[in-house]
Amino acid sequence: MHRKEFIKTCGFACIGGTALTTLLQSCATTNYFAQTTIANNQISIKKAEFATIIKDKPMQRKYVLVKTDKLGFPICIYKINDESYTALFLECTHRGCELQPGGDYLICPCHGSEFTNKGIVQNPPAEENLKTFKTTTDNENIYIQL
C-alpha cells in the first residue's frame, strides 16, 4: 500500500470511528429505560428517574421508557411538568411498528408517521392517536394504570 493511500484509509477509519462513537453515545443518553415496580396492574416510577447529568450539569430527561412483560411494546413517559406526565404505548397505529421517541415527537421508522408527546397524530399515514395510559403522581412517584 502506498503512503498516500494508507493515510487516506486511516483518515476515513478515524472519522468513521468518531462518528460511530458519537452516535452510540447519543443513543445511550436519549433512550433510557427507567427502573420500575409493577403491582396490581400499576407501574410505579420514581420522578428521580428523569434526572440526569449532561456535561457535569444536572438536567431533566424529556422522557423515559418502560418495558413490561405484559405488553409487546415499551411505554414512553413524557414529562410535561412536575405534576403532569403522559404515558404512550409505542405501537404505531398505522401497521404496528415500534415508534422511536426523538425530542418532543415520536416517529415511526416504517412509513414515517409522527405523533406528539401527547400521542396525537401529526403526520400520516397513521390516522389514529396512540394508545395512552392514565397517569397520576405524588411527591416522589408517577403511577401508570395498565
Name the minimum Å distance from CB 114 to ligand FES: 9
Closer to ligand FES by CB, 99 or 144: give it.
99
Choose between 36 and 93: whose C-beta lies nearer to ligand FES.
93
Q: Which is nearer to ligand FES, 38 or 125 (CB)?
A: 125
Which residues here bind ligand FES, judged by CB under 6 A?
92, 94-97, 108, 110-113, 125-126
Q: Which is nearer to ligand FES, 8 or 111 (CB)?
A: 111
**Smallest distance, ligand FES to C-beta of residue 3, A:** 50
Task: State the distance between the two ends of the chain, measured CA to CA, in whole angstroms.
Answer: 62
Q: Tell the smallest beta-carbon distance from residue 91 to ligand FES (Å).
A: 9
Pairing of strands 37-39, 135-137: unpaired
Let me know: does 68 contact 75? Beta carbons within 8 Å. yes
Q: Which is nearer to ligand FES, 38 or 110 (CB)?
A: 110
Rounded distance between C-alpha atoms, residue 136 and residue 143, angstroms: 5
Contacts of 118 (CB under 8 A, 6+ apart): 78, 80, 86, 88, 132
Q: Least distance in Å: CB of 107 to ligand FES?
A: 9
The 3-state DSSP composition of the chain as helix, strand, coil percent (nearest 5) reads 20, 40, 40
Residue 23 dihedral angles phi and psi, to the nearest 5°: -60, -45
- To ligand FES, the closest distance from the beta carbon of 96 in angstroms equals 6
